[in-house]
Copies of this chain bind each other. A is one copy, B any other.
Amino acid sequence: MIRAGIIGATGYTGYELVQIFERHPEVQVVFATSESYAGKCYAEVYPCPYNQRLIALDQAPLNQVDVVFLCTPHGTSALLAQQVLDAGARCIDLSADFRLRDVAVYEKWYKPHPVPGLLPEAVYGLPEVYASQIAEARLIANPGCYPTGPLLALYPLLQAGIIQDQRLILDAKSGVSGAGAAPSPKTHFVNVHDNLSVYNAGHSHRHVPEIEQELQRFAGRHVRVVFTPHLLPVSRGILTTIYITVDPSVQASDIVALWQKAYAGQPCVHILPAGETATLAHTVYTNRCALSLTSAGAEGEFILVTSIDNLIKGASGQAVQNMNLMFGLNQTLGLIV
C-alpha cells in the first residue's frame, strides 16, 4: 500500500486526486491539507461523501508517507518539494515549478526560482515519453494541461523528422476547470456560458515555453509555436487543433504508422481510425489522450486533433500514472482508460 499525502487538496486537481484514490486499490491517503478548509471534512467542501479530514500544512506528517502530491501554486510548490524530499518522500508537483529545465526560461515567464538546485533532477512527467526516467525519479514535474495533448500528437512526428514547419499553429480550446476554483469574472457562469473567448493568444500563455521546450527536445532543433487558447463553455476537456506541413511524399497512413509504433502498448493513447476525428467526448472523465489526423486539403498538409480531460490526463490522472510507474505498478491502476 502506497502512503500518499496531498498538499493543497481542495483545488480541482486535489479533488480529482481524492476521487481517483477512492478507487485506487494500492493507495492510502494519509493526509490532505488545505489552508482555507483545515478542520473541515472533504464533504463540506465538495459535493461528495468523503470523510477525509483536511489538516493544515504544518500538521502534515511528511515523514509518514511514500509520496506527496503538490497541488499548490508555482512558487509555493518548489519550496514544498524540497521539504518533501528532505523528509524522505518522493514528490509529484502539479505546478509549473520544475517543468522548465532552464532556470533562465523559468525566470523569464515566472519569477526567481526558489530552489533552482532541484531542477536538474526533476523529471518531466509525460509517461508515454519518459517512462524509464519517471520510474527512477524522486521529483516529477507533472505536465501542464495544455501541453499534454499536443506533445503526444507531435512527439513521434518530430522524432521522425517529418515536420517541416519552423512555426506550429496550435489552436487550443479548454474547459473552465482549467482556470481553477477561485471565483472571478472570467469564471462567472454568465460570462462563459453560451460564449467562446480567446485569451493569452500568440506567444503569451505560460504553457508556451513548456511546449516549445519539449518539442525542441523531440525535434532536436528550434521550433516555435503560435498558441491560441480559447475558453469553452464546458467544465472539462481540452481539444487542440494543430496545423502541420510535411514532405509531400508523406501520406496520412505514414503519420498514423508513426503514432502506432510510438504508442504500441500504451493504454492511455487512443489513435482514431482514418475518417474519425477526436472530440472531447473521447476523453473526458478518462485518462486517455485521443489523436486523429485529417488532410488539410493539399499534399503534405495535415490537421492533427487531440483531446484530453484537463483534470485527468492533463493533471491528476497523469500524476497518478506517474506514481504508478514510480512504484512499479501497472501504469493505469486506479485510472479509467
Contacts and interface: CB of A to CB of B under 8 A. Distances in A.
Interface of A: 12, 22-23, 47-49, 167, 169, 171, 173, 176-177, 181, 183-185, 187-199, 201-204, 208, 224, 226, 228, 230, 232-237, 239, 241, 243, 270, 277-282, 284-285, 288, 290, 294-298, 301, 303, 305, 307, 336-337
A120 B232 CA distance: 42
A35 to B, nearest CB: 16
Nearest to A294: B201
Given A183-B185, A184-B183, A298 B224 contact: yes
Contacts of A281: 47, 191, 194-195, 197
Nearest to A173: B196
Contact of A183 (B188, B204, B226, B241): B188
Contact of A279 (B195, B239, B297): B195
Closest 6 CB pairs of A and B: A203-B297, A183-B183, A197-B279, A202-B297, A47-B281, A171-B171
A188 B191 contact: no
A273 to B, nearest CB: 8
A230 B241 contact: yes
A337 B169 CA distance: 33
B189 A192 contact: yes
A194 B235 contact: yes
Contacts of A305: 198, 201
A280 B195 contact: yes
A198 B277 contact: yes
Contacts of A243: 169, 226
A282 B195 CA distance: 9
Contacts of A288: 49
A239 B194 contact: no
A188 to B, nearest CB: 5
Given A232-B196, A241-B171, A241-B228, A190 B201 contact: no
Contacts of A197: 277, 279-281
Most buried by B among A185, A203, A234, A278: A234
